[in-house]
Structure 1
Amino acid sequence: MRTFILFLGMCFLIVGKSQAQAIQGLEKTQPNIVVLLCDDLGYGDLASFGHPIIKTPNLDKLASTGIKLTNFYSTAPVCSPSRVGLLTGRSPNKAGVYDFIPGPKKSQDYRDLVHLQANEQTIPALLKSVGYATCLVGKWHGSSKFNSDEQPQPNDFGFDHWMATHNNASPSHKDPDNFVRNGEEVGKIEGFSSQVIVNEAIHWLDSRKNDAPFFLEVAFHEPHEPIASPEDLVQKYLPKAKNREEAEYFANVENVDLAVGRLVAYFEKNNIDNTLIVFSSDNGPETLMRYQRAKRSYGTPGELRGMKLWTNEAGFRVPGIINWIGKETFTGTSDKVVSALDFLPTFVALSGAALPDRELDGESFTTLLENGEFNRSKPLIWAFYNALNERRVAMRKGDWKIMARIEANGETVPRLNNLYDGNEVLVKNAKLTDYVLFNLKNDSNESEDLSLKEPEIFEKIKEEFEIQYQALLDSSYIWVRNP
């Protein structure tokens, strides 16, 4: 008996040792993962994506030595749902986040209830389960009741450390006073927001107590209004700008680039390699003077049609850059269709974490990193009920994009900020109508409707479009005030 007990003890010791070795081996292969996310940056706002004036050498270098994505999509054409889709790998409609999340002012359509709900499985939580340290700096915008016990906060979704704002930096990017760090109000911070949050990120990286891999989300407020930029950069652009406001916008984008450069330089100085960096924007550029404070919104959609809040391309096709420091990958410009929805399954695959126990809308693009190949099997679909353009539902499949209006009782459904029990029947009984079809490979500006010229392709894609939209509608979350 004693011999048997000793034998069992040896077995457990060996198994425990092998498990520890496996975990250590996994940690050595797990990459650090950094998400750099701009706010309202247009497709054409970086030099490497065609801007003739703005200087972005640090981001351009990441693109030239990594992968420049010319068909990269955010998950929505506006901030809150875009961020929710990125974190969950699912359409934000399924989480019930249909538009930007305002503060907790009670409204008829229940927008005051909207928040990322506790049952959602997110990138930081999944990576944390396999040993990652996790951090968010910058913009959160995932709950109407920010920094309140009444709704989940960043730490409830896996962020060990966070310093964030509900929405925009206030009163502007200069000397913001509305940051909260791990539940405690910070007060006024001198400097510009992009540099402030990179300072916080570097401080967090310096304070790590071990060599565990890390997940870092750097969510810039720039170039969202209210814009404020360093005066030396503004002066640099004044000779080439239409006016001071445009110079401030140009300087704002370059200030982000400088902040990115500081972070990359920190990695290099501290020999932090095996670090996957992805850069993008939450949606397309704001329209100049769409609202009173948007007087510096000189972002450009480049060759694309539309702007922020549109379901045309410029609403959600944004600059995309991937660079894996310390690892040899495919490099070059890629026209593969990639979405921020794909971050979660890709990061899970690279980290060794388990996939969530629900269907994802994103797909892993690890093959793109390996050899430049990635052919998504699932189409991308957006239903943005508050779109400024008429056709608020859109789908991209391969080179093709189809769009439609939603109509009920012979009239276009009015613009909606939220789906709740008061408009559920209206939206679910509405029909898709007035379709258009574009070949984005040949016509990125969506200038020629091919629905009549390509009837066979149109009917085939239309059929799938209707199936995909119905599936999205069936799985969309409906808010109820008193469930």
Structure 2
Amino acid sequence: MNRLLCLLSLWLASSLHAGSRPNIIFILADDYGWGDPACYGHPYAKTPNIDRLAREGTRFTQFYATGVTCCPARTGLMTGKRPATFAKYPASFGFGDRVTVTELMKKAGYATGHFGKWHIGPSMTPGTYGIDVIGSDEENAAPKPVDGGKDTRVYDNAIAFVEKHKDVPFCMNVWGHITHHPVDPTQKFVDEFASLKVKDADFSDYQREKLDAVRKHGGDVDDAMRRFLGEAFSMDQDIGRLLAKLDELKLTENTLVVFNSDQGPSSPQDVLRERNAKNAAKKPLAAKKARLAHHLLGYAGPHVRGGKHGDYEGGVRVPFIVRWPRKVPAGRVDTQSVLSGTDWLPTLCAITGVPFNATDFDGGNVAAVFWSKIHERTQPMFWKVNSEKSDPAMRWQSWKLHIPHRARGTWKSTISPKTLASVKIWRLPAS
């Protein structure tokens, strides 16, 4: 069956390539939870443009980031390799001789661009990883426009790139900073939620722990939720501007747009980490508490726990939407296919007809899922943060395994009964 699906996806890719290659836009949010968009079930969010992508494309419920912090997640997307296969931290040392998706697209004749957050190497000069135009982090970090959001300048640059390259195939990363802390939206976006009153019963038990953490540390839950949702709404509005530009230039039907997040939202424990940050003493305590409360309220969804910095489902299962009119089925929700960020590079190569060696990558070509087939994953997925005492985790089929850091050596000979009893294995919900 897997071989048949692979042959089908390659045939579809070659037939698509024979016509016109699609433009590629990969939108990556930051710390945006599986349950944060309205189309994934958030009870209060206003995300009409993200919802439009889901309505006009396919929404996946079992897509996994390759890391629980910014660089590892981006590493999997860019290289198709697990972060643990790199000897040095890519944010500081780059990807070395590993090929990237943008290099492959550039060699295939695509104009390439990257706007927004980087965090994948020390150099941002044009040509790095085959990218023609790289937005400036300094520019993106500048004060936001009076009527815009934190990522408005990122989307301004992305829109300008589309306008300039409208007559040639282009491949572009749009990696925003929202909803990474600090959460500080322009007031007009907060006002969209002026009447909002949070009801704990509208959320999962785990999310209620976050609400309690906000209250414990002196935050106003209603104000915090309004500000978090306002920040996300500003991102959605900028996404809408980008989609409108595609419509205006008549590029919509030949542009594959992906919406994704680098990892899940913050956990209740993150408020404690931030309180102990080195710069905590530089800020008035009340302001510090308020900022942390706003940072805390991303939603991982109704069935999971955990968040950023951890490899429970809330940290690694993230939203993933693909739209390509007349190619990717509209309004479809795939609750069965288990996908990884490492799959993006080989899948995009297959769709665009770019040659690649499958054995060079940890992910695989899953293009068939874009055409409504179900992908049965045969290889397990692994996670571990860059800390000697962190707990490793893996997913195989519909099972998740977490091993406490005390476990060392082989299972049969060195793990004590007490440690073995603390190993967690459970069956995961599909959606």
TM bracket (short chain): 0.7 to 0.9
Letter in 2 for 1:439: R
Which residue in the other structure is 1:282 paired with? 262
- Percent of aligned pairs sharing the same letter: 30
- Measure how far apart 1:270 and its partner are: 0.8
Which residue in the other structure is 2:365 paired with? 364
Which residue in the other structure is 1:258 paired with? 237
Q: Does the 8 Å CA contact 1:73/1:340 hold for their aligned counterparts?
A: yes
Letter in 1 for 2:103: A
Q: Does the 8 Å CA contact 1:404/1:435 hold for their aligned counterparts?
A: yes
* CA deviation vs aligned residue, 1:432-465 (integer Å, no higher than 9, x gap): 96432111037x7xxxxxxxxxxxxxxxxxxxxx
CA distance 1:55–1:191, change in 2 (3 Å):
closer
Q: 1 CA distance for matches of 2:405 and 2:364? A: 28
Which residue in the other structure is 2:159 paired with? 202
SS in 1 for 2:324: strand
1:296 to 2:294 alignment = yes
* CA deviation vs aligned residue, 1:277-312 (integer Å, no higher than 9, x gap): 111100010235240453311111122110111110
Q: Does the 8 Å CA contact 2:305/2:313 hold for their aligned counterparts?
A: yes
CA distance 1:248–1:79, change in 2 (3 Å):
same
Which residue in the other structure is 2:429 paired with? 441
Q: 2 CA distance for matches of 1:96 and 1:229? A: 38
Q: 1 CA distance for matches of 2:343 and 2:226? A: 35
- Measure how far apart 1:377 and its partner are: 2.1
Residue 188 of structure 2: which of 232, 237, 257 is its match? 232
Q: 2 CA distance for matches of 1:325 and 1:404? A: 43
Letter in 1 for 2:266: E
CA distance 1:221–1:96, change in 2 (3 Å):
farther
- Measure how far apart 1:269 and its partner are: 1.2
Which residue in the other structure is 1:417 paired with? none
Letter in 2 for 1:49: Y
Q: 2 CA distance for matches of 1:397 and 1:195? A: 39
SS in 1 for 2:405: strand
Residue 161 of structure 1: which of 117, 124, 133 is its match? 133
Q: 1 CA distance for matches of 2:181 and 2:255? A: 31
Q: How does 1:318-467 map to 2 (within 5 A)?
A: 318-329=318-329, 331-335=331-335, 336-356=337-357, 359-386=360-387, 392-407=391-406, 434-441=422-429
Q: 2 CA distance for matches of 1:408 and 1:441? A: 27
- Measure how far apart 1:404 and its partner are: 0.8
Q: Does the 8 Å CA contact 2:149/2:231 hold for their aligned counterparts?
A: no
Give the paired residue count. Answer: 365
- Measure how far apart 1:51 and its partner are: 0.8
For structure 1, which segment, 378-387 or 221-230, has the greater mean C-alpha deviation from structure 2 after superposition? 378-387
Structure 2: runs of 5+ lacking an equivalent = 1-13, 198-220, 276-290
Q: 1 CA distance for matches of 2:20 and 2:141? A: 40
- Measure how far apart 1:118 and its partner are: 3.2
- Measure how far apart 1:32 and its partner are: 1.0
Q: 2 CA distance for matches of 1:61 and 1:222? A: 19
Letter in 1 for 2:244: A
Task: Report the structure number with the largest CA radius of gyration.
Answer: 1
- Measure how far apart 1:408 and its partner are: 6.8
* CA deviation vs aligned residue, 1:243-299 (integer Å, no higher than 9, x gap): 433311110111111111111111111110221111110001023524045331111
Structure 1: runs of 5+ lacking an equivalent = 1-22, 102-113, 148-152, 176-188, 411-428, 445-483
SS in 1 for 2:237: helix
* TM-score computed with the length of structure 2 as normaliser: 0.77
Q: Does the 8 Å CA contact 1:154/1:162 hold for their aligned counterparts?
A: yes
Q: 2 CA distance for matches of 1:377 and 1:29? A: 32
Which residue in the other structure is 2:53 paired with? 62
- Measure how far apart 1:430 and its partner are: 11
Q: 2 CA distance for matches of 1:354 and 1:164? A: 31
CA distance 1:116–1:357, change in 2 (3 Å):
farther
Q: Report 1 or 2 for greater relative contact order, CA contacts < 8 Å, sequence distance ≥ 6.
A: 2
Q: 1 CA distance for matches of 2:60 and 2:96? A: 32
SS in 2 for 1:71: strand
Which residue in the other structure is 1:83 paired with? 74
- Measure how far apart 1:28 and its partner are: 3.9
Which residue in the other structure is 2:316 paired with? 316
Which residue in the other structure is 1:470 paired with? none
Q: Does the 8 Å CA contact 2:56/2:325 hold for their aligned counterparts?
A: no
Q: 1 CA distance for matches of 2:56 and 2:378? A: 28
* TM-score computed with the length of structure 1 as normaliser: 0.69
Which residue in the other structure is 2:171 paired with? 215
Letter in 1 for 2:226: A
Q: 2 CA distance for matches of 1:89 and 1:341? A: 4
